[in-house]
Amino acid sequence: MKLIVVFAAFVAWCAGSAIPLVPGDNSHYVEGESRYIWMPDGDGNSKLVDLQEPVDHALLNSRNGANNAYWLYTRSNPNNPQVIVNGNANTIWNSNYVASRPLKIIVHGWNGSGNSGLNNAITSAFLAVQDANVIVVDWRALAGSNYVTAVNGVPSVGQFLGNFIVWLRNTAGGVWTNVHLVGFSLGAHIVGVAGRTAGGRPVRVTGLDPAGPLWQTNSNAINRNSGVYVECIHTDGGLLGIFNPCGDADFYPNGGRNVQPGCGDSSCSHERAHDLFASSVRTNHFVGRLCGNLNQAQNNQCSGSTLNMGNGIVTKRGSGLYGLTTGGWWPY
């Protein structure tokens, strides 16, 4: 009997350590057990990630949140960012920043940068519907490291971002009821930390398929304390994204898992979250129905009260789990 148990454990270890060969195919992945997983970089390409890769502490210490760059876009400069430097008030006064406007902050994920496509899509969506200050956070200095190192850097990136928002508000004015933070994948956890660093004062925090690998028991993950109203949109739950609820309201379009309509793999399903959000800001047409439990959400069997998914409305409030169906192509 003991031999059978040992053999079973060996087989499980081998399965968890097996290197998957098909880019983007995460059908092998078992949460908490598998060592390898395919993840998209900032340009949509799949990269193989070793979840047991050692942390690069030298890089982590040298490329921490102090390296964050803050790019401001407004209707006066929708395509060419103005850089605001934390602690340098002149960079605010010499920019198009207007304190009375809503403040939208967008944070990319692993291997991304300020130039990643999701930033342009969401920025242009916000500016299309309202006159706002949109700040894209570029944390590529750390996001470009191995995934495990980037995960360990999330607290620093988020804390520096939170302190930047406090400084910006104290220096240039404005109200917290206009502050909306949006983050994709690892960026979702970064805005979670930033919101808590700012005392939970941001009126709205949106997590777009918050990263799953190495986050199931991570105390730095996005949660309901990150803002007044926290919303999470799950599109690749159990693989590249967290499936369990992490906000006041959690949305599970098409069951919240791979494969999303129009996608062929986990990477596409993961990235679908930011596409859906960009569309929702422009059109606000995704209507979720309240679910009785997580199983109903996964099977899209929800028929309760309604709450729209996404959009940029800062007065939005809701709680619970919501299911809905989307299309496979823009605007979904």
Catalytic positions, please? 185, 209, 270
3-state SS, residue 265: coil
Q: How far is residue 134's CA from residue 308's CA, in Å, rounded to a whole number? A: 22
Give one DSSP letter per residue of 204-257, joined into a string: EEEEES-B-TT-TT-TTS--GGGSSEEEEE-SSBTTTB--S--SSEEEEETTSS
In one-letter notation, the amino acid at residue 287 is: V
CA atoms within a 13 Å half-sphere pointing along the CA-CB vector of 203: 16
Class of residue 215 by CB neighbours under 10 A (exposed 0-12, middle 13-18, buried 19+)? buried
3-state SS, residue 131: coil
Q: How far is residue 129's CA from residue 281's CA, in Å, rounded to a whole number? A: 8
Largest pairwise CA distance in the chain: 74
E strand or H helix at 151, and its extent? helix 147-172
Q: How far is residue 293's CA from residue 3's CA, in Å, rounded to a whole number? A: 41
Q: How far is residue 329's CA from residue 332's CA, in Å, rounded to a whole number? A: 5
Label the pairing between strands 249-253 and 204-208: unpaired
Give one DSSP letter per residue of 45-57, joined into a string: -EEEEETTPPP-H
